[in-house]
Amino acid sequence: MSKAALSPAEALKRQAAARALEHVRSGMRLGLGTGSTAKHFVDLLAERVGQGLEVVGVPTSEVTRAQAESLGVPLGTLDEYPVLDLCVDGADEVGPDLTLVKGGGGALLREKIVASAAQEMIVIADASKVVAQLGAFPLPIEVVDFGVAAIRRGIERSAREAGCQGLLTLRRRPDGHVFVTDQGHLILDAAYGVIRDPVALAAGLAEVPGVVEHGLFINLASRVIVAGADGVTVLDRA
């Protein structure tokens, strides 16, 4: 898609992606995120690869893998490259201390594994994603497909203990079929409205048998590049 054809929202995402690309150097091993903003980063990275930039990317989803492969970005796995120099990904919400809600695209498990393997995580987002308090975007919780009703009860109990309450919805695809992640799991989206204590909620969810991972990313992002009407702003974790 040409720059002239981008909508205002997509143009902001591309601006953030372009700024993140300034942190990429030849020889780097890169985690490649998933989602509409990360897609712009992969597009721009591919252009640089075509100009001679030498990198290896580790994709966080099969969608990103297919995109990167089609554009000629060299790819590897975390088994081949267990330590990455940099991970660039988007976010559904960016809260105080750069705590994130991620997983709207369904890739939160791989995204968190890749981000944790990186020496630095840069998040790219448009200004609408920056919030004073997390929770307006439903929190994705990845679960196994065995005993979902029991898992749901465990999630509800842990959420109440962390001061959260809201409807848990089994994610479905646009065609109505149940959404299944790249790892073969299901996702429950938790509409809490407000997450006052992300740390407590994350700890509680991690203790629920059957919960594989949740979309709270805490102490992972070191920098968030935000594109808005007034330009690009860089937020660094304190």
Residue from 47, 54, 69, 111 carrying the catalytic annotation: 111
Query: Which DSSP helix (H) or strand (E) runs through 14?
Result: helix 8-21
* 111 annotated active-site: yes
DSSP string, 46-98: HHHHHTT---EEEESSHHHHHHHHHHT--B--TTT-SSBSEEEE--SEE-GGG
Q: Do 108 and 208 touch, CB atoms closer than 8 A?
A: no
d(CA 214, CA 221): 16
Helix (H, G, I), strand (E, B) or coil at 124: strand
CA 196 to chain centre: 20
Bridging pattern class, strands 86-89 and 121-126: parallel
d(CA 146, CA 222): 36
Distance (Å, whole) CA 42 – CA 21: 9
Residues recognised as catalytic: 111
